[in-house]
Amino acid sequence: MSKSAPQSPDVSSLSGTVQIVASLYNNRYTDALVESAQETLAKLAPDLNVQTTRVPGAFEIPVVVEAVANTETSPLAIIALGVIIRGSTAHADLIAESITQNLQQTSVTHLIPVIHEVLLVDTTEQAETRALGDELNRGREAAEAAVAMIEVMENLPD
């Protein structure tokens, strides 16, 4: 696991919409991820319209991401947030793999950056480190990646 994220992008004058789709499950951690992502987006790109949609669990994230990407006024980026804590069966791994494949497919099909921070962790301690920590905060990193990818997409040649 990498503990060093890319440098945070500079404050930007981007305007448009960023959609956050987040699970309600494991809400102690997902709420923290959402809050951190929203705060970071407000700092890095204050003119962005940030909309948040909550879904019951991580498995429901991809269908809402696809629906959002398929709207007439699609967002500049979509951030997917959730926390899956492994149990003693393969269920968590199957869910995580499905989510990853579907989020990637939506991103490529619609040419919209989909930032995947649906975390698969082994323990609540790992979830705390990634969602509640200051040094390694995946909500913050998701927002930084979204802003960076919006800028990349806007600067691609026509």
Degrees (nearest 5) of the Cα angle 68, 5, 58? 35
Determine the longest span between alpha carbons in the chain, in angstroms: 49
State the Cα–Cα distance between residues 38 and 31, nearest whole angstrom: 11
H-helix or E-strand containing 19? strand 16-23
Of 113, 109, 22, give the one whose Cα is nearest residue 62: 22
Q: Which of 11, 91, 94, 108 is catalytic?
A: 91
H-helix or E-strand containing 20? strand 16-23
Is 91 a known active-site residue?
Answer: yes
**Residue with the two structure tokens 């709207």:** 71
State the Cα–Cα distance between residues 76 and 142, nearest whole angstrom: 14
Active site residue ranges: 91
